[in-house]
A and B are shown apart, each in its own frame.
Chain A
Amino acid sequence: MDAILDPILAAWRDRPGALLPVLHAVQDALGHVPAAAVPEIAAALNLSRAEVHGVISYYHHFRQEPPGRHVVRVCCAEACQAVGAEALAEHARTRTAESGVKVEPMYCLGLCACGPAVQVDEAELHAAVTPAKFDALLARLEAGQ
C-alpha cells in the first residue's frame, strides 16, 4: 500500500485543503480507502485519525470496503423517477443479487432529459435504460467485457 500512498501524499501534503484530493486518489487507485491507510494520511496532513475518518464516513462517495467487480449506479432522483427509475432499480437489485456486480442508488448524473440514467464503474454512461437494456448491460459486464 505504501507504494501507492507515498507518491500521493508527497504530491499533496503541502497543498491547502488536501484531504479530499488525497482520499480520491487513494480510492481511485485501490477501489476504496482502507482503514490501514488512515493513520498515514492523518500523519502526513497533520490531522487526527478521527478527523480523517470523519471525512471518509461523511461523504457518500468514499468506500471503506472494496466494491464488487463492477459498480452499477442507478439514478433514483426525481427526473429519473418520472420515467421509471424506481422499477429499474428494483429490477437491477433483483438481477444482481447473486452477482459480482454491485448495484447502488445515486442521485442525479445530469442526464435528466434522457433517464433513467445509469453509470458503470464511475465512467461509462447509459441513458433511457429499460429493464431489457439493463439485462444486456449486465450480461456484458458478467462476461467480463
Chain B
Amino acid sequence: MKATVYVPGDAAALALGADGVAQAIAAEAAVRGIALRLMRNGSRGMVWLEPLVEVATPQGRIAYGPVTVDAVASLFEAGFLSGAAHPLCLGETVQIPWLARQARCVTRRLGVVDPKSLADYIARGGGEGLRKARAMAPAEVVRAITDSGLRGRGGAAFPAGIKWRTVLETAAAQKYVVCNADEGDSGTFSDRMLMEGDPYCLLEGMAIAAHAVGATQGYIYVRSEYPQAIAALEAALAAAGDFLGGFRVDVRKGAGSYVCGEETALLESLEGRRGIVRAKPPLPAVAGLFGRPTLIHNVITLASVPDILAGGAAAYREQGTGRSRGTLPFQLAGNIRRGGLVELPFGHTLRELLYDYGGGSRSGRPLRAVQVGGPLGAYLPEAQFDTPLDYEAFAAIGGGLGHGGIVAFDDTVDMAKQARYAMKFCAVESCGKCTPCRIGSTRGVEVIDRIRAGDAGQITLLEDLCETMVYGSACAMGSMTPIPVLSALRHFPGDFA
C-alpha cells in the first residue's frame, strides 16, 4: 500500500518552509523508487513545530517536526514512512500533550482533513449538521442556536440566536448571509487556519444559517492579506457540487483596511464603496447588505454551527463557564516559545495558556505584558495573569477577549511606545467619520510623544483625550483604542515617566 505523508499547506507552515519540505520528500521518494501519496493538509496549530510532517501508520498518524529540507534524507533512512524513531519524531500526533489536553471542537478537523476533498470532510463527520438542519423548520434551527448559548466570536460576543431570529423574522424577498473573514487583529489567525484547513466546515455553517434565516446568497469577505485562504475557499467552492443546495456563496477580497472588519463598514465595502461605518440603527439584521436583512458573523462563529446542529445545543452549552458557553480557539502569539492555536472551553486562566501551553517567552526573558483581544484589547501585567478567560471576567478588568488573540511581550517592551502605537494605529485606520476618533488619535500620538520626552504634566490630557474618544466615537475603533492606552498607563506607569 502507498504510504501517505502529510505536509501542511497552511500559510504559517509555508512561511516556515513547508513547500520546500514537500518537494524534498517527493524528490527523495522518487530517487528511492517509493510511491507515496503526499497530502497537503491544514495545520494542527502547533506552529513552533511547523513544518510538522505526519505519516499514516496502523498505529495512527506519527508526527515529525520541525522538519527541514536537510532532514528529509535522514527521515527516509530511519524509515519514517512506517513511523520509525528519529530525533525529530514526536510520536503519535494526537498524543502530543500540547494538543491532547485541548478541547478541539470547531478546530477538530484542522490538520486532519484534506481541505480540498468534500468526500474526506463528509467521511469525518462533516455534513451531518446541514442534513439535520434541512429536516428542521427554520425557527427550530434558530432555537438550537439560541439554546446553545453561542455568542459571536468576532469580538463583540453578541448572542448569535438573537441575530438569527431577527433576520428570520424580517420579511424580505432577498436576504444574505455574510461571513466576516477580515481578521485584522494582530495576534489572531484562527479564521485563517480554519479557512485554509477546513473550508467546508465554514461553508456548511453558512448553508445552515442560510436555511435558518431564508437567505439564498452568501458572501465571504476575506482580507487581501490572506491569498492562501482565498484560494482554499475558491477551491472548496469549485468542488462543492450540490453540497450547498440552492445557496450560492461568493468570495470577496478586502483591500487592506482594518476598519472594514467592523460589520457595517464591511457591508459598505462589499457594496463597492469606501469602508465607512454606518449609523446604527438600522441593524444589519434588518437592513444590511444592499439594504436587505443580513446575517453577518465571524468565521469561527459560523464554523461552530455545524456541530451545534449535529451534536445538539445541550452538548454545546455543556462546555464553558457562566454566560460564556462552548469553546474558543485561542491564539498564542508574539514573544512565546510554543505559539499556536489552543482551543479550550472558556474559564481556563491566561497563566495556563502563557506557561503551560506557551512555555513562557521565546526570548527566555520574563514575560512582562500581554495584550489580549487584538489592537483594541487591554495590556495586562503579570498580576492579572490569573484572570479566567471568559467574556465577563475580562469585561470586569476593563478588557475583552475579542477574537481570542493573546500577544506576549517580554521585559524589553516599552509600554509607552505600545500605547503610542495604539493611538497611531487608530489614526491610520480610522474611517474618519467621528472627530474624536480621527483627530483625537492623532492628538494622542503627539501627547504621548511629549510624555515620553519627559512632560509628565501631559498625562491628564491623555486621560481626558481618551475619555472624549470613549464617549464620542460611533464604533469600537475609536471607543476602545483608549483600552490599550490606559491599561498600559495604569499598569506600567514607570514607562511613561
- Bound form: Cα–Cα A115–B336 in Å: 10
B252–A60 contact, CB under 8 A? no
> Which A residues between 105 and 143 are near B, CB-CB below 8 angstroms?
106-115, 117, 119, 122-123, 125-128
- Bound form: Cα–Cα A18–B374 in Å: 31
Query: Contacts of A77 on B, CB cut-off 8 Å?
Result: 186-187, 375
Query: Contacts of A58 on B, CB cut-off 8 Å?
Result: 257, 274-275
The verdict on B14 contacting chain A, using a C-beta distance below 8 Å, is yes
A113–B331 contact, CB under 8 A? yes
B334–A60 contact, CB under 8 A? no
Question: Chain B's nearest CB lies how many Å from the CB of A8?
Answer: 14
B405–A128 contact, CB under 8 A? no
B12–A24 contact, CB under 8 A? no
A110–B375 contact, CB under 8 A? no
B227–A110 contact, CB under 8 A? no
B11–A109 contact, CB under 8 A? yes
Given that A106-B225, A111-B11, A113-B331 are known contacts, is A20 also in contact with B186, CB under 8 Å in the complex?
no
| A31-54 contact mask (Cβ, 8 Å, vs B): 1 or 0 | 000000000000001010001001
The verdict on A90 contacting chain B, using a C-beta distance below 8 Å, is no
The verdict on B332 contacting chain A, using a C-beta distance below 8 Å, is yes
B189–A112 contact, CB under 8 A? yes
Query: Contacts of B409 on A, CB cut-off 8 Å?
Result: 82
| B10-35 contact mask (Cβ, 8 Å, vs A): 1 or 0 | 01101110000000000000000000
Question: Chain B's nearest CB lies how many Å from the CB of A113?
Answer: 3
The verdict on A68 contacting chain B, using a C-beta distance below 8 Å, is no
The verdict on B362 contacting chain A, using a C-beta distance below 8 Å, is yes
Query: Contacts of A23 on B, CB cut-off 8 Å?
Result: 255
B188–A110 contact, CB under 8 A? yes
**Interface magnitude class on chain A:** 35 or more
The verdict on B343 contacting chain A, using a C-beta distance below 8 Å, is no
The verdict on B421 contacting chain A, using a C-beta distance below 8 Å, is yes
The verdict on A79 contacting chain B, using a C-beta distance below 8 Å, is yes
Of the candidates A19, A51, A112, A119, the one whose C-beta lies within 8 Å of that of B407 is: A112
- Bound form: Cα–Cα A83–B334 in Å: 6
| A10-35 contact mask (Cβ, 8 Å, vs B): 1 or 0 | 00000011111101100000000000
Number of A-B contacts (CB under 8 A): 152
A113–B421 contact, CB under 8 A? no
Main secondary structure of the interface of A (DSSP, over half): loop
The verdict on B493 contacting chain A, using a C-beta distance below 8 Å, is no
> Which of the listed residues B183, B184, B253 has the most CB atoms from chain A within 10 Å of its own CB?
B253
Question: Chain B's nearest CB lies how many Å from the CB of A76?
Answer: 9
- Bound form: Cα–Cα A110–B339 in Å: 12
The verdict on B226 contacting chain A, using a C-beta distance below 8 Å, is yes
| B182-224 contact mask (Cβ, 8 Å, vs A): 1 or 0 | 0111111101110000000000000000000000000000001
Question: Chain A's nearest CB lies how many Å from the CB of B209?
Answer: 20
Given that A18-B272, A122-B227 are known contacts, is A112 also in contact with B253, CB under 8 Å in the complex?
no
Closest 7 CB pairs of A and B: A113-B339, A19-B272, A77-B186, A61-B256, A82-B334, A112-B333, A59-B255
Which residues does A use to contact B, with CB under 8 Å?
16-21, 23-24, 45, 47, 51, 54-55, 58-62, 77-83, 106-115, 117, 119, 122-123, 125-128
Which residues does B use to contact A, with CB under 8 Å?
11-12, 14-16, 47-48, 50, 183-189, 191-193, 224-227, 252-258, 269-275, 290, 331-336, 339-340, 362-363, 371, 375, 405, 407-410, 413, 418, 421, 425
- Known contacts A82-B335, A110-B191; can you find 7 more A-B pairs with CB under 8 A? A16-B271, A16-B290, A20-B255, A114-B15, A114-B16, A114-B47, A128-B16
List 6 A-B residue pairs with CB atoms under 8 Å apart, sorted by A's residue number.
A19-B272, A60-B257, A78-B371, A80-B186, A110-B11, A111-B11
